[in-house]
Amino acid sequence: MGIYLSSPKTEKFSEDGENSRLRYGLSSMQGWRATMEDAHAALPDLDESTSFFGVYDGHGGKVVAKFCAKFLHQQVLKQDAYSMGDIGTSLQKSFFRMDEMMRGQRGWRELAVLGDKINKFTGMIEGLIWSPKTGEGSDQPDDWAFEEGPHSDFSGPTSGSTACVAMIRGNHLVVANAGDSRGVISRKGQAYNLSRDHKPELEIERERILKAGGFIHAGRVNGSLNLARAIGDMEFKQNKFLPAEKQIVTANPDINTVELCDDDEFIVLACDGIWDCMSSQQLVDLIHEQLEKETKLSAVCEKVLDKCLAPSTSGGEGCDNMTMILVQFKKPFAKSEAPFIEDPSTSEDPEKDSKSVEIESS
């Protein structure tokens, strides 16, 4: 459950933005937790035609969530598939790329800076003590060179993070998810899940965990992690005979693609601190209620966070860090019949894991 404060930190980081296609608001709050481990990214203009939004919920520390918020969208842009218009493949490769980038000397150094690990003897940020020679490894691909140093054999962080990302281009919405943060769309007031929560008890997750040599105890992977997919958590990704997507815990995201229509009003990305307190439909209903009173989207998000915050830590729910991004579509889309939607949270079909799938009401 984590360590709780004697009173919650209710100060919020909030932000609003817009472009010609959409407007967004977001808010995050530490709440009762002793530390804030959530991170987010909101880039309405990732490029001239594409918007990017992501919620990252860290566990065991904040650094992996912050690493994803800093680098994941950058990696999407660098993928060959992105230049060919394949957003889904670009997202999948970028999720795996996060794990690759966090290894080795440079990965350790970047994580140390993001974690603000100050050496009490020197007063320096630990990751900046070692500095590789200029140009060393410059022939390596992706400008993420291998660096020799005291942490060259660093296998990656034992902490981890969920990632729920939405990209919007034209009338297409692509959602990539690993973990139990969740994306939801409101279509004519009806909530539709854009992702499924990757819990160990799901059959497809349980099967992979057991085949990779792991076990599930009390609903947790190897008795410790209550997620089946995450970025980071390298201790669960050490089987050298298995590819990344078949490890005990994998960063492999579900990729869902939706054709937007005029009935689509907004999408929500939020960490499980929100979903522990209300269902997808309850949140959509609350947002509609607040939008009748409030035009500033970040203020709507703040109202949701306040409503979810527990009065005490006795119950558990409402005691987590909370982050929510609300994206409202601005212009009408091309007229088309709303596509049928299938709920990914009930699907056990492994073939749907990394393909574009339609989504269903929840």
> Residue 348 pLDDT more than 90?
no
Choose among 118, 107, 278: nearest CA to 184. 278
The strand pair at 190-193 and 182-187 is best described as antiparallel
DSSP string computed for 245-287 = GGSSSB---EEEEEE--TTEEEEEEE-HHHHTTS-HHHHHHHH
Amino acid sitting at position 191: A
Beta partners for 216?
Answer: 221
pLDDT digits (tens, 9 = 90+) for 238-267: 999 999 999 999 999 999 999 999 999 999
- Domain 4-103+155-349 fold is Phosphatase 2c; domain 1 (3.60.40)
φ/ψ region of 146 (left if φ > 0, alpha if ψ in -120 to 50, else beta) reads beta
pLDDT digits (tens, 9 = 90+) for 50-90: 999 999 999 999 999 999 999 999 999 999 999 999 999 99
Mean of the pLDDT values across residues 122-137? 40
- Polymer length in residues for the chain: 362
Where is average pLDDT lowest: 63-72, 93-102, 348-357?
348-357
In this prediction, residue 275 carries a pLDDT of 97
Is residue 257 within 8 A of residue 165, CB to CB? The reply is no
Indicate the pLDDT class of residue 146, thresholds 50, 70 and 90: confident
Where is average pLDDT lowest: 124-138, 288-302, 335-349?
124-138
Indicate the pLDDT class of residue 135, thresholds 50, 70 and 90: very low
Indicate the pLDDT class of residue 142, thresholds 50, 70 and 90: low
Mean of the pLDDT values across residues 177-206? 97
> Residue 132 pLDDT more than 90?
no
> Residue 136 pLDDT more than 90?
no
352 is written with which tokens?
Answer: 């749907």
120 is written with which tokens?
Answer: 């009490």
Q: What number of CA atoms fall less than 13 Å from residue 28's CA on the CB side?
A: 23
- Torsion, Cα 104 232 65 272, to 10 degrees, reads 180
Q: Could you give the angle at the alpha carbon of 165 between the alpha carbons of 65 and 234, nearest 5°?
A: 40
For residue 19, count CB atoms less than 10 angstroms from its CB and return exposed for 0-12, middle for 13-18, buried for 19 or more. exposed
pLDDT digits (tens, 9 = 90+) for 194-207: 999 999 999 999 99
In this prediction, residue 131 carries a pLDDT of 39
With the C-alpha atoms ordered 146, 111, 79, 88, is the resulting torsion angle positive or negative?
positive
Amino acid sitting at position 156: G
Q: Quickly count helices (H) and strands (E) in the chain.
A: 8, 15
Q: Decide: helix, strand or coil at residue 52.
A: strand
Amino acid sitting at position 136: E
pLDDT digits (tens, 9 = 90+) for 219-228: 999 999 999 9
Q: Could you give the angle at the alpha carbon of 100 between the alpha carbons of 99 and 101, nearest 5°?
A: 95
